[in-house]
Amino acid sequence: MISFVATPIGNLKDITLRALEALRAADAVFCEDTRHTIKLLNAYEIRKPLYACHKFNEREAAERILALSREGKNVCIVSDAGMPVVSDPGREVCRILREAGEQYTVLPGANAALCALVLSAFPADRFTFIGFLPEKKAERRALLERYAAARETLLFHCAPQDVDIYVSAIFEVFGERRACAVREITKIHEESVPFLLSGGLPGEKRGEYVLVVEGAREAENPLNALSVREHVAAYLAQGMDKKEALKRTARDRGISKSEVYREALGL
């Protein structure tokens, strides 16, 4: 049996009984970082062979997992924290197992994005998990532009050194929005800090973050009843320069400036 096992995201007590049962019955445990996983296993006095399964060796690890399973072995796959595959290694393993016709299961558990969504107090009836943004600026902007008009709450994973970069990039594309930075979830210093994108997140950045950003609002500006082209033209008629007219139109409508630009070509 192959099991993808969710592990605690902070507090080691946030592990399920099923997860402990599976880990104790495992013949092998594949993990993102053996040094990290050994701490969890030691806390519950579990001694098992540990093998690396990370983004640099995932294909090789998947082949080994498949071979062990076909020998009748029990295999558990974990990441450093939370659910494997979700912003963590494991997707390639799933693909290879599926293509090989090998059955596997998942043991649910802690999830940072969902915890952050609750702690933010933002609407949770509909939301989109985006995860980590691309490192390259152009790719990051292109991805954000896909979600600029989305009405649902948006969730981003973010390393502490990238928080200011992410917030600035999101503001540049989305315009003003309410946001909430959630960090150290389930740990002693857990906190949930609401802020406005325009002002950025104050203070020193420590720990792993989930940034929760409100969706685009249903705009009340009467100019939104016009076409995008007419909307921009109305601002130009008010004396705004083209750059500011495009920017204001994008913010009014909750869409990207590049989309407004495409619609307003020729004005």
Q: Provide the CATH number for the domain around residue 84.
A: 3.40.1010.10
Tokens 């802020």 locate to 195
Domain boundary pick from 75, 107, 139: 107
Q: What is the pLDDT of residues 137-178, one digit of tens each?
A: 999 999 999 998 888 999 999 999 999 999 999 999 998 999
Q: Please report whether residue 116 resides in a domain.
A: no
* Claim to verify: residue 207 and residue 230 sit in the same structural domain: no
Averaged pLDDT, 126-142: 96
**189 lies in some domain:** yes
Amino acid at 229: R
Token pair of 92 as six digits: 């390639």
Token pair listed for 23: 């880990």
Q: Which residue in 194, 242, 190, 205 sits closest to 11, CA to CA?
A: 190
pTM, whole model, 2 decimals?
A: 0.79
Q: Are residues 159 and 254 in the same domain?
A: no
Residues 15 and 89 in one domain: yes
How many distinct structural domains can be found in the chain? 3
pLDDT in tens, 110-121: 999 999 999 999
Per the prediction, the chain carries an average pLDDT of 93
Per-residue pLDDT band for 264 (boundaries 50, 70, 90) equals confident
Same domain, 88 and 177: no
How many alpha carbons lie under 13 Å from residue 146 in its C-beta half-sphere?
A: 9
Answer yes or no: do 6 and 95 share one domain.
Answer: yes
Angle between helices 242-253 and 228-237 (to 10 degrees): 130
- Asked if 70 and 98 count as a contact pair (C-beta separation under 8 A), the reply is no
The phi and psi torsions of 11 (rounded to 5 degrees) equal: -70, 120
**Number of other CB atoms surrounding residue 168 within 10 Å:** 11
Report the pLDDT averaged over residues 109-135: 96
Residue 185 identity (one-letter amino acid): I
Which of residues 107, 135, 157 is at a domain's end? 107
pLDDT for position 211: 98
Q: In this structure, is residue 113 part of a structural domain?
A: no
Per the structure, the complete domain to which residue 251 belongs is given by 222-264
The verdict on 8 and 103 lying in the same domain is yes
CB 107 within 8 A of CB 113: no
- Quick one: pLDDT at residue 247? 86
Query: What are 177-212's pLDDT values in tens digits?
Result: 999 999 999 999 999 999 999 999 999 999 999 999
Percent of the chain topping pLDDT 90: 76
Q: Does residue 65 contact residue 1 with C-beta atoms inside 8 Å?
A: no
In a domain, 114, yes or no: no
Same domain as 190, residue 127: yes
Domain co-membership, 209 together with 232: no
Cβ atoms of 179 and 231 within 8 Å: the answer is no
Amino acid, res. 183: R
Residue 92 within a domain:
yes
Chain segment 2-33, per-residue pLDDT in tens: 999 999 999 999 999 999 999 999 999 999 99
Residue 221 binned pLDDT confidence (cut-offs 50, 70, 90): low
100 and 153, same domain (yes or no): no
In a domain, 117, yes or no: no
Give the single-character DSSP code of 140: H
In a domain, 115, yes or no: no
Answer yes or no: is 141 within a domain.
yes
Domain boundary among 52, 76, 107: 107
What does the block give as tokens for 131? 């995860």
Q: Within this chain, do residues 92 and 150 fall inside the same structural domain, yes or no?
A: no
pLDDT tens for each residue of 37-73: 999 999 999 999 999 999 999 999 999 999 999 999 9
Q: What percent of the chain has pLDDT over 70?
A: 97
